[in-house]
């Protein structure tokens, strides 16, 4: 029997979303469905959803900074980031908190002004550090237990867009 996953406190998430100025995204399982696809000649392929891409465009147009921190390294991520106008791309990263600190220092951000959307165990230290943490509905149960917001969409299937819309819908609004 699978233990139940507690639902995050939405009011607390709204309060945290109101402060966000920068969004950091994981790639595999967040911007993609987490599958690792290879062509017959060994070339790696990834599937990105157009809805998520448009969510990133909306975030940037609204003045929200967007960056990527990924444990894996692949030229596909650089190509997708270029298309979406994401300049802060950190790949092959073991210490994601340290990479976030670089972004934090570059833009003079408080931890409370940074959001992170991720799905796996090695993301937990950074998820616990940022002001607003989120996970796709198909993230590891251990991750869903520690985040402030769980999307209704799966990774690679609109989770990024949903998280962006949640942030933008509450950014700058103070709840009593």
User: Is residue 163 classed as helix, strand or coil in its secondary structure?
Assistant: helix
139 contacts 119 by C-beta, under 8 angstroms: yes
DSSP states along 11-32: HHHHHHHTT--EEEE--TTTTB
Q: Mind listing the domains of the chain with CATH numbers?
A: 10-170 (3.40.50.1000)
Residue 44 corresponds to which tokens in the numbers above? 């790696």
Give pLDDT, residue 97: 98
Angle at 61 between CA 86 and CA 24, to 5 degrees: 40
Task: Say if residues 18 and 173 touch (Cβ distance below 8 Å).
Answer: yes
pLDDT tens-place string over residues 82-128: 999 999 999 999 999 999 999 999 999 999 999 999 999 999 999 99
Residue 1 has pLDDT above 50, yes or no: no
3-state secondary structure of 112: helix
Chain segment 143-161, per-residue pLDDT in tens: 999 999 999 999 999 999 9
For the segment 2-11, the average pLDDT, to the nearest whole number, is 59
Alpha carbons within 13 angstroms on the beta-carbon side of residue 109 total 24
Measured in residues, the chain has a length of 176
Mean pLDDT of the region 27-32: 96
pLDDT at 13: 84
């Amino acid at each position: 029997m699978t233990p139940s996953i507690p639902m995050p406190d939405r009011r607390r998430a709204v309060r945290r979303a109101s402060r966000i100025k920068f969004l950091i995204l994981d790639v595999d399982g967040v911007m993609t469905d987490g599958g690792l696809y290879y062509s017959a000649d060994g070339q790696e392929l990834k599937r990105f959803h157009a809805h998520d891409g448009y969510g990133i465009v909306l975030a940037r147009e609204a003045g929200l900074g967007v960056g990527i921190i990924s444990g894996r390294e692949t030229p596909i991520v650089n190509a997708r980031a270029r298309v979406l106008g994401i300049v802060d791309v950190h790949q092959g990263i073991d210490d994601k908190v340290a990479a976030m600190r670089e972004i934090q220092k570059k833009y003079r951000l408080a931890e409370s002004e940074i959001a992170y959307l991720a799905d796996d165990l090695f993301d937990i230290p950074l998820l616990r550090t940022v002001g607003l943490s989120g996970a796709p509905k198909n993230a590891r149960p251990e991750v869903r237990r520690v985040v402030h917001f769980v999307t209704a969409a799966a990774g690679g299937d609109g989770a990024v867009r949903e998280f962006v819309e949640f942030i933008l819908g509450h950014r700058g609004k103070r709840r009593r």
